[in-house]
């Protein structure tokens, strides 16, 4: 997400759009890899209702419903859980996560180290909460770059089909990668971002 004076990185793609929506005087440009934009809705949908509409969001129920803390307790168990979340596979090459069910706990002991994680992981939790009803009629009028990952099974390409309705100045790009596009296709992602910054943010006045 690009602002006038600095570049801000966030984990959790939807947050970048919400910050731009909540702070329109602060944010001038946004780019997002994999995560499409969903505008605020006046109709509340529970997680169960969302999963009924989008079955491949089912993994979120495992994270939200509690109980994992009773199963995943040791440092090694946490490490194996994160390995599974970040694409680690079993010795026979099979994934240890299902987008519909979540992490397949019975496979955790055999999950191999994922190349996407270092030995130590620090993940911030609990972002600030906002009442979305305040922003129902506020549009996202700033330039946005959305980079679609063609093989993303968590945030599938079809979820972005209506973004043009809600973002006036949208630029699309795509990379052949999974949900972890920034790790798998860093050069391609950076090429799209660089081109957009030069052409849209700075209007080709600055050479990076």
Average pLDDT score over residue span 162-181: 94
- For residues 96-106, one letter each, b for 16 or more C-beta atoms within 10 angstroms of the residue's C-beta and e for the rest, the string is bbebeebbebe
Task: Map out the domains of the chain with their CATH numbers.
Answer: 8-40+135-201 (3.40.50.1820), 43-128 (no CATH)
Whether residue 81 is predicted with pLDDT greater than 60 in this model: the reply is yes
How far is residue 137's CA from residue 65's CA, in Å, rounded to a whole number?
32
Neighbours of 89 (CB within 10 A): 18
pLDDT digits (tens, 9 = 90+) for 11-32: 567 888 888 888 888 889 999 9
pLDDT digits (tens, 9 = 90+) for 88-136: 999 999 999 999 999 999 999 999 999 888 766 555 444 444 555 555 5
What string of DSSP letters covers 90-156?
A: -TTS-BSEETTTEE-GGGGGGPPPPTT--SS------PPP--GGGGTT--B-S-EEEEEETT-SSS-
How far is residue 39's CA from residue 139's CA, in Å, rounded to a whole number?
8
pLDDT at 196: 95
Whether residue 41 is predicted with pLDDT greater than 90 in this model: the reply is no
């Amino acid at each position: 997400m690009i602002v006038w004076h600095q570049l801000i990185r966030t984990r959790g793609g939807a947050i970048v759009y919400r910050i731009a929506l909540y702070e329109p005087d602060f944010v001038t440009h946004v780019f997002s890899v994999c995560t499409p934009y969903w505008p605020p809705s006046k109709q509340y949908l529970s997680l169960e209702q969302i999963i009924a509409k989008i079955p491949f969001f089912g993994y979120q129920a495992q994270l939200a419903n509690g109980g994992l803390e009773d199963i995943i307790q040791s440092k090694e168990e946490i490490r194996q859980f994160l390995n599974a979340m970040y694409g680690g596979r079993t010795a026979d090459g099979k994934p240890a996560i299902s987008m519909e069910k979540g992490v397949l706990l019975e496979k955790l002991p055999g999950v191999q180290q994922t190349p996407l994680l270092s030995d130590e992981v620090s993940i911030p939790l609990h972002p600030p909460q906002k009442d979305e009803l305040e922003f129902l009629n506020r549009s996202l009028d700033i330039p946005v770059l959305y980079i679609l990952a063609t093989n993303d099974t968590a945030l599938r390409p079809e979820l972005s089909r209506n973004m043009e309705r809600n973002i006036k100045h949208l630029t699309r790009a795509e990379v052949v990668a999974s949900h972890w596009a920034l790790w798998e296709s860093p050069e391609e992602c950076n090429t799209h971002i660089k081109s957009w910054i030069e052409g849209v943010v700075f209007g080709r006045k600055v050479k990076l």
